[in-house]
Amino acid sequence: MSVHSEIKKITTETLRKMKFDKEKITMLTAYDFTTAKMVDAGGVESILIGDSAANVMAGFETTLPITLDQMIYHTQCVVRGVQRALVVADLPFGSYQSNPDKALESAVRMMKEGGAHAVKIEGGIEIEESIRKIINAGIPVMGHLGLTPQSIYQFGTYKVRAKEEAEAEKLLSDAKLLEELGCFALVLEKIPANLAKKVTENITIPTIGIGAGADCDGQVLVYHDMVGMNHGFSPKFLRRYLDLYTEITGAVSQFVKDVKTADFPNQNESY
């Protein structure tokens, strides 16, 4: 028997059951093979190839520039490193908004070429037909409401969403719609904790929060933020578990010093 077959893989059904059993769900991003391996070994239930790759990997200010081909490449790299977690890939800006046929085509490419287990897309009623079409093709969809970064130029700011009653009501109604359409889970980004609690209590699919308080069924963070690689990004919701920026720059400057002083390589490090 191979080692792989002994690992119980996480499925969309596992996440549904976890909500039912009141067991919290964990998700982190990864964009490459090596990180995905570590994140999977750490025990998260789900790994997200977020379009935050546009920021973190490519240095863009927004998530808008990343292409479907680039997201597929990141997904292929991640999938090769994962044995257990459910791998969810973002469909990037422009790959699903224009019409349901295009949305399905993009989702199929992400599954077929990328090897993702599910796709995530941003929005509610505006993309109802696209979600329906993707799910009807047998592709699991994770929704994403609240601060949806692909709409940043419409919002004009990365501040907390749905503080006003009208937007909060629309968000709740969108969440119910996503459940009705058959989404298997829902990311809630940067909304008031009491609204996230209300949504979580009013739908049967799991909610995964980022900046949405403690009552969501699970939590997601961007890996590079939670390991402290990015000193320039410090939102209130972020908990840093490491300070890798300091560790890595320290290691690099030590290497520079060791080479310049002829300390590295020594005899044991030479052939």
Contact between 115 and 76 under an 8 Å Cβ cutoff? The reply is yes
Residue from 50, 92, 114, 123 touching ligand KIV (CB under 6 A): that is 50
Q: Of these, 12, 26, 46, 52, which contacts ligand KIV (CB under 6 A)?
A: 52
| Residues between 61 and 90 with contacts to ligand KIV, criterion CB under 6 A | 90
Quick check: 92 binds ligand KIV (CB under 6 A)? no
Tell me the residue number closest to ligand KIV, measured at CB.
50
CB of 245 to ligand KIV, least distance (A): 19
Q: Does 51 bind ligand KIV (CB under 6 A)?
A: yes
Cβ closest to ligand KIV, residue 153 vs residue 271: 153
What part of residues 179-218 is at the interface with ligand KIV (CB under 6 A)? Answer: 187, 189, 210
Residue 150 interacting with ligand KIV (CB under 6 A) = no
| C-alpha span between 145 and 139 (Å, rounded) | 19
- Binding residues for Mg(2+) are 51, 90, 122
Per CB under 6 A, residues contacting ligand KIV are: 29, 48, 50-52, 90, 187, 189, 210, 220, 222
